[in-house]
Amino acid sequence: AQPTVDLSDNVLTARLPSGDSVTVYLYGATVTSWKTSNGSEHLFLSQAAVLDGSKPIRGGIPLVFPVFGPPPKSHATGQLPQHGFARNSYWEFLGKSSSESLGRKADDSVKLDFGLSSSMLDEAVRNKWPYEFGLVYSVTLEKGRLECQMNVQNKGDQPFDFQCLFHAYLAVKDISKTAVKGLQSSPYVDKVRSAQTFTESSPELTFSSETDRVYTPPASKDNTLVPLVVTEDGADSFVVTRDGLPDVTVWNGWEDKIKAMGDFEPKDGWKRYLCIEPGSVSSWTKLEAGDAWEGTCAFESKL
C-alpha cells in the first residue's frame, strides 16, 4: 500500500498505510490534525476555530511569518497583524513526494510541499510588507512523527528581516500533570512578567498559571539543539527536535485569557493544550537578496 493524499475544498488529508494521518488547510497551510496509527489526535484544535479563511485557525500548527507577536511599530513589519500574514493567507499545494530520497521505503512516509510567494498575497498585505519572497513549507508525515520545515527565499533585490515560528498546539490530557524537560539553565523572556529575562532553574517546567515565555536554550558543544521532552503524568508523550530554530515559545493562556478568546472552545480547553513553538524569533534574521534560509522542527509521539 502507498500513502494516499486527498485535496478537496482547500483541505488536504494524507494517510500512511500504518494509519497515521495529517490534515492541512491551505488557509495558512495550517496543520489541523495529526493522528498516529492508534487513532490518537496529537494536536489541539478549538471547537470554535474559524475555518472559513476569515481569521487565523485557533489550534493545530499555525505558521508565524515574517513577525512574531505584535510587530514593533518602527520596524518594516510594523503595519502587519500579530504573527504576520502566513497564517491568514491561502497557500498552494505544490505536490507530494514519497521520501525514498530520505532513505526510507516509499510507503513509510509522505512529504507535502506548500508554497506562498509575494505575488499570492492580498494587495493590501503586500503594500504593508513590499518584499519579494518565496516560502516553501514541507510537512513530512512518518509513523509516529511529524516534521515541519520552512524554506524562506529572498527573491527580490533588497534584503529583508524576518522571524519565523511553528505555533504548535500540542494536545495534552491535563496541563496540571504536564511538564517540559530540556529547558534547565536556558535564558527566557517572560511575557507575563513585563518581558524580563530569567534563567530556567527547573529540570522540569510545570504549569500552574498563565505561561508565555520565549526560551533560547544554548546549543550544545557540537552546535546541536537539545530536544525538548513533554511528559504527561511522568511518562514521555512528545519529543520535539529542532534544526536552525534557536528559540522555543511555551504558551498556555490559562483560564481567564482563554475565556476571553471568542474562537476558543470548549472554555475549559486550556487544560488540554500546550503550545510548544519552535522558531527563530528572539532576534531578526536578515536575508540578503537571492539568499535562502531554512528551519526545521519535528514532533515525535511517544504514547
Q: What is the set of active-site residues?
A: 167, 277
Give the shortest CB-253-to-ligand BG6 separation in angstroms.
6
Complex with ligand BG6: residue 15 or 167, whichever CB lies closer: 167
Complex with ligand BG6: residue 141 or 276, whichever CB lies closer: 276
Q: Which residues contact 105 (CB under 8 A, 6 or more apart)?
A: none
Q: How many residues of this chain interact with ligand BG6, rule: CB under 6 A?
A: 9
Using CB under 6 A, pick the residue from 79, 82, 185, 202 that binds ligand BG6: 82
| Binding residue ranges for substrate | 58, 82, 87
CA-based nearest residue to 195, from 300, 292, 70? 70
Give the shortest CB-84-to-ligand BG6 separation in angstroms.
10
Element counts in the chain: helices (H) and strands (E) = 2, 21
Complex with ligand BG6: residue 7 or 261, whichever CB lies closer: 261
C-alpha–C-alpha distance, residues 15 and 2, integer Å: 9
Complex with ligand BG6: residue 3 or 28, whichever CB lies closer: 28
**Residue list 159-178, contact with ligand BG6 (CB under 6 A):** 167
Based on the shown chain and the rule CB under 6 A, indicate whether residue 249 belongs to the binding site for ligand BG6.
yes
Complex with ligand BG6: residue 91 or 113, whichever CB lies closer: 91
Using CB under 6 A, pick the residue from 91, 160, 251, 299 that binds ligand BG6: 251
126: left (phi over 0), alpha (psi -120 to 50) or beta: alpha
C-alpha–C-alpha distance, residues 87 and 78, integer Å: 17
Q: Which residues contact 101 (CB under 8 A, 6 or more apart)?
A: none
Give the shortest CB-270-to-ligand BG6 separation in angstroms.
12
CA-based nearest residue to 10, from 51, 48, 55? 51
170, β-bridge pairs: 43, 274
C-alpha–C-alpha distance, residues 258 and 276, integer Å: 17
Based on the shown chain and the rule CB under 6 A, indicate whether residue 215 belongs to the binding site for ligand BG6.
no
**Residue list 10-69, contact with ligand BG6 (CB under 6 A):** 56
Residue 224 DSSP symbol: P
Based on the shown chain and the rule CB under 6 A, indicate whether residue 277 belongs to the binding site for ligand BG6.
yes
C-alpha–C-alpha distance, residues 94 and 97, integer Å: 10
- For binding to ligand BG6 (CB under 6 A), which residues are involved? 56, 82-83, 167, 191, 212, 249, 251, 277
